[in-house]
Chains A and B, each alone.
Chain A
């Protein structure tokens, strides 16, 4: 076996912040190599260097044994490297074929015109060769996430990539799609390609990779063979200490009903049905979890409950009253807290400081604005209290939200929402992007709220999180609530099947691929 990639003592600093610190990495040809690490461990930065997007501050990149100095991705592509980013680099309104050949369009008529027929044929040939199922004429915005990912892989292969880098390829896929992806990995390595994929999930690294390199705080803390290691060893490498992998919720008797959703349907922004006929309820002292691959209607469901989206059908009652048509503002006033899934878009106003962000949602409440005039000194005390209690660093209430790291932004949002003294907490991906310590803290606080008799609606794409924290777990697929299960007595595989749209008792399987919300 020859070495496909060798990274030699790579260091990368951004304006003084060290992202990669003296990293060595060797990848053998024809293997699958997993790059494992927590969020922010520097995995993506390292791969961006290999792909020529960044220049290393120090160190050298070797490809096929040759030292290389990539000025741009174009150089990396020339060296046979292809990268599939976590956020797909596709042009939505263009077709599959147009995206695959982008930048390398076959020409005709003295190079003036794109030879569309040839482009199409080449794409068909390529996908047949690797057993991909894509239609070259579909617009990207019309196809599922799984297909988009395959388009990305084809794009790299079309450019003659021998080394494929995939950044968090499984994050947006169903368990079944993940299996399909790993099958593609096998097909590719069998044809001599080399694959490097970034992950923070131990299980899939163990399952799909030949070798695993663990990064922590920008440093390489060890490379191991997948079949010579264990989950526990990897976890310790990643975190640097032993961690409690799964939160535990002690059983507890729920109280009165707080939220009841009945036959709820909703559409997405483009007017396409996204939630259909969903019903469930949540009681005091109960965590109701919703599992599902991202983009199966969870967002729209949550938006309907929190008042950001008008449902097309059905009703929502809250604390005994019908709130189907109530405004967002009145729901906030009525004790509904909401940790949104996208903190940059919704949760925080990035150009406001934390004092101003601390009253987002409370700007009309008597606490901060009794007579329409905001009491800024109260607001400041409030923000400083959250910073203090939720360990937001650095503790500067006057700094703009965008100057904080993702994890600290999230802690601030969580703090703000929990400090509302809510009756219902709607938490979507509450631990996304935070470090392990903060994750544990947030989990504890959620369970504290439950112990105080509050109702919690928890949506997360991390199955272990929803499974560990919930008293009851609903699984969504294609806008439908497939089933509500007892998370303590259900296996991950059973939930995975539900997430993929298969009801265990149904005889025939639904051949239709899951509807992705394209975004």
Chain B
């Protein structure tokens, strides 16, 4: 194939990232410029909000559940199983984490582990169990992945408030009175602005580790390559003697694990599970799907997208408090969604793994 075609392919890839990164940067620069030129105007407020350490730390905190769910979604979908049930995994782990901590007793420690961390791991376990159910249904029983994913969401959406009502008499759990807390790294946390990275929830640190680690696993380990091959061309993997089902199970379970971390962190960061309406997860699982599609299945891109949404939310919360600012809160809340729409309309498609959503079987019926 001629070199020009290769260049062109690379160009499309590059232009996608360049559009995103360049767009974000130029918007920021525009605001900075306007903010510096008219410090007392709304742009000045904008700039102050965007450069405030509290916005950064808030954005990091808010991006935790989205990022973890998105990382989970990447592993599952890269392995060929579209996991639309991420929302359900977040819900079930958020609930289990809190109820387990409550049952153990928030003040208790078991073999040196504080109850809240037992809850944290229990939340992860519940999400892994749910994803195992999902995996069996999709892989063993060849269910339609989208429908099965919706089912996982619906079951979790019903089960968590149901169990909360059975146990507490209402859809919300009681407040544990304790949270995961904050880990502060001395000295580093004193750095202006970026100090927010070193004075954060434990889950934020986990996220900052999980993102590069996921990238590494996906791109530098044999397992990661098998995952990618299983989603692109499972037959290629099968014919070299790697068990496609096993890789897919692993991918889905891993997605359950990661989403579980996000869900546990979400509820334990607050010390309570809120089960009203769409529960406290409130669409974060779906936003996570958008985030990884947006990030083109790259863990770092997915984190970038999650961080963008969380950042917009954090900025929105602060913008709301600017006095005399007339735009209704609800309209500002639509900004992240509108952004996604506009970018999708401009940049268009993302490349979905070739075999995602398809069942794989060797075609032999008497095996």
B-binding residues in A (CB < 8 A)? 14-15, 51, 53-55, 57, 72-74, 77, 83, 85, 89-94, 98-99, 102-105, 107, 112-114, 116, 141-144, 155, 159, 270-272, 512, 515-516, 518
- How many A-B residue pairs lie within 8 Å, measured between CB atoms? 97
A515 neighbours in B (Cβ, 8 Å): 1-2, 5
Q: Does B339 contact A (CB under 8 A)?
A: no
The docked-state distance in angstroms from the alpha carbon of A77 to that of B240 is: 8
A141 neighbours in B (Cβ, 8 Å): 9
The docked-state distance in angstroms from the alpha carbon of A265 to that of B362 is: 41
B226 neighbours in A (Cβ, 8 Å): 102-103
B363 neighbours in A (Cβ, 8 Å): 53-54
Q: Given A72-B241, A155-B240, are A55 and B232 also a contact pair (CB < 8 Å)?
A: no
CB distance from B132 to the nearest CB of A (A): 24
Q: Can you show 6 pairs from A to B with CB atoms below 8 A apart?
A: A55-B364, A74-B241, A94-B228, A143-B1, A144-B1, A272-B5
User: Which chain B residue has the least Cβ–Cβ distance from A144?
Assistant: B1
Q: What secondary structure prevails in chain A residues at the interface with B? A: loop
Q: Does B142 contact A (CB under 8 A)?
A: no
1/0 contact string of B329-367 vs chain A (CB within 8 Å): 000000000000000000000000010000000111111
Q: Identify the stretch in B202-210, B217-225, B276-284 within 8 Å (CB) of chain A at 4 or more residues.
A: B217-225
Q: Which 7 A-B pairs have the closest CB atoms?
A: A74-B241, A103-B240, A89-B236, A105-B222, A103-B242, A91-B232, A91-B229
User: Which chain B residue has the least Cβ–Cβ distance from A113?
Assistant: B220
Which of B149-188 touch A at CB < 8 Å?
Answer: none
Most buried by B among A54, A77, A89, A116: A89
1/0 contact string of B1-20 vs chain A (CB within 8 Å): 11001101100100000000
Contact B232 A112, beta carbon cutoff 8 Å: no
User: Which chain A residue has the least Cβ–Cβ distance from B236?
Assistant: A89
Contact A15 B365, beta carbon cutoff 8 Å: yes
A99 neighbours in B (Cβ, 8 Å): 236
The docked-state distance in angstroms from the alpha carbon of A53 to that of B228 is: 22
User: Which chain A residue has the least Cβ–Cβ distance from B4?
Assistant: A272
Q: Does B318 contact A (CB under 8 A)?
A: no
1/0 contact string of B117-146 vs chain A (CB within 8 Å): 000000000000000000000000000000
Contact B241 A114, beta carbon cutoff 8 Å: no
Contact A142 B240, beta carbon cutoff 8 Å: no
Contact A54 B364, beta carbon cutoff 8 Å: yes
The docked-state distance in angstroms from the alpha carbon of A85 to that of B354 is: 19
Contact A93 B232, beta carbon cutoff 8 Å: yes
Q: Does B53 contact A (CB under 8 A)?
A: no
CB distance from A159 to the nearest CB of B (A): 7
Additional pairs, 10, CB under 8 Å, beyond known A73-B241, A103-B241, A159-B240: A54-B363, A91-B229, A91-B232, A91-B237, A92-B232, A94-B225, A94-B229, A114-B225, A141-B9, A142-B6
CB distance from B327 to the nearest CB of A (A): 41
Q: Given A73-B238, A85-B239, A92-B232, are A142 and B9 also a contact pair (CB < 8 Å)?
A: yes
CB distance from A209 to the nearest CB of B (A): 24
A77 neighbours in B (Cβ, 8 Å): 240-241
Choose from B5, B239, B365, B367 the contact partner of A73 (Cβ within 8 Å): B239
Choose from B1, B9, B367 the contact partner of A516 (Cβ within 8 Å): B1
The docked-state distance in angstroms from the alpha carbon of A90 to that of B226 is: 12
The docked-state distance in angstroms from the alpha carbon of A271 to that of B12 is: 10
Contact B240 A73, beta carbon cutoff 8 Å: yes
B238 neighbours in A (Cβ, 8 Å): 53, 73
The docked-state distance in angstroms from the alpha carbon of A55 to that of B365 is: 9
CB distance from A166 to the nearest CB of B (A): 13
Contact A14 B365, beta carbon cutoff 8 Å: yes
The docked-state distance in angstroms from the alpha carbon of A272 to that of B365 is: 41
Q: Given A90-B236, A114-B222, are A53 and B241 also a contact pair (CB < 8 Å)?
A: no
The docked-state distance in angstroms from the alpha carbon of A74 to that of B366 is: 18
B366 neighbours in A (Cβ, 8 Å): 55, 57
Most buried by A among B232, B233, B354, B362: B233
B239 neighbours in A (Cβ, 8 Å): 51, 53, 73, 83, 85, 89
The docked-state distance in angstroms from the alpha carbon of A102 to that of B238 is: 10
Contact A91 B5, beta carbon cutoff 8 Å: no
Contact A114 B220, beta carbon cutoff 8 Å: yes
CB distance from B350 to the nearest CB of A (A): 13
The docked-state distance in angstroms from the alpha carbon of A61 to that of B12 is: 49
Contact B362 A92, beta carbon cutoff 8 Å: no
B362 neighbours in A (Cβ, 8 Å): 53-54
CB distance from B14 to the nearest CB of A (A): 14
CB distance from B314 to the nearest CB of A (A): 35
A270 neighbours in B (Cβ, 8 Å): 8-9
